Amino acid sequence: MTLDIPNLVDFDNRLREEAHEEPSLAIPQSPPTKKTQIIAIYGKGGIGKSFTLANLSHMMAEMGKRVLLIGCDPKSDTTSLLFGGKACPTIIETSSKKKLAGEEVKIGDVCFKRGGVFAMELGGPEVGRGCGGRGIIHGFELLEKLGFHDWDFDYVLLDFLGDVVCGGFGLPIARDMAQKVILVASNDLQSLYVANNVCSAVEYFRKMGGNVGIAGLVINKDDGTGEAAAFAEAVKIPVLAAIPQDDDLRKKSANYQIVGSYESQWGPMFAALAEAVALAPPVRPAPLNQDGLLGLFSAEATGAAFVLTPATDADMRGKNAVLKKSLEVVYDHV
């Protein structure tokens, strides 16, 4: 009896080949309508992009603006806060089901409304079954088929995971799909590392002829220590808002409550952020190198003062280390 054992080498090679494929050119690349601002928001996972965007979009709608919020994170958590914790069907999942049924995806299948905000989730593949970046690309291809270029909005907000630097997640920057980028970070090294990486991507594509710039930084869970503000100053971008580290905000966010409203005590803060987002021009950042980033923090906090000690071949071999006689010829001095 022979066992049907999958050829993992071939499977691995297929994944590698797929990862190197150039994305389809059927991506929205034409300029947006003259009144629409398309803004991509980037930040480290868990830093509060969804909290910031759900409340910002709700506030913009209360101010009379037409807003489309698109979640571009495989976790599909962007719209959860907006919809009171309710997960809406993602574009990728819905597209797959409709395709199997021989049906076309319609707007009502993937786009939902609350408080004047229109929102949808691109979604992503099941864990271990595909590339999240390529899922983003396929999602935007479908949006174009649904008529993305003809939609009438004042703002289109795109929520992107900043930890990942592949082409799919870098799409708005690499393809000039957005006019500007907003960074969300806190006073911690990892979130600022991600923010600095996004600045590096923006600057790279500007040198390649791109037009996307950084509109500014939103400091979330601001504890007043100042590292995020120092980062913004160092890379030459403005701080658009500083959302405090407050227990009331934490509890309301955990309970899927919207605070970006005139009915909330936090309404004026999000109204000010909405105005800053509308007016902030896209600028070229000056990304930091690793030492410059570490320099924003005390050496004790980051280990920046640590001295690298090179390893030796004997270190690597451990108990297997054997002294080998040198073949070098040594001549006696006469």
Catalytic residue list: 44, 49, 75, 163
Residue 288 and residue 218 in contact, taking contact as beta carbons nearer than 8 Å? no
Buried b / exposed e along 286-299 (16+ C-beta atoms within 10 A): ebbeeeebbebbee
Cα–Cα distance between 154 and 53 in angstroms, integer? 15
Residue 261 and residue 62 in contact, taking contact as beta carbons nearer than 8 Å? yes
Cα–Cα distance between 24 and 8 in angstroms, integer? 27
Q: Is 93 exposed, middle or buried (0-12, 13-18, 19+ CB in 10 A)?
A: middle
Q: Is 65 exposed, middle or buried (0-12, 13-18, 19+ CB in 10 A)?
A: middle
Cα–Cα distance between 283 and 205 in angstroms, integer? 13
Helix (H) or strand (E) holding 194: helix 189-207
Please name every residue paired with 214 in a beta bridge, in sequence order, or none if there are none: 181, 283
Cα–Cα distance between 142 and 240 in angstroms, integer? 32
Residue 181 and residue 42 in contact, taking contact as beta carbons nearer than 8 Å? yes
Q: What is the DSSP letter of 264?
A: S
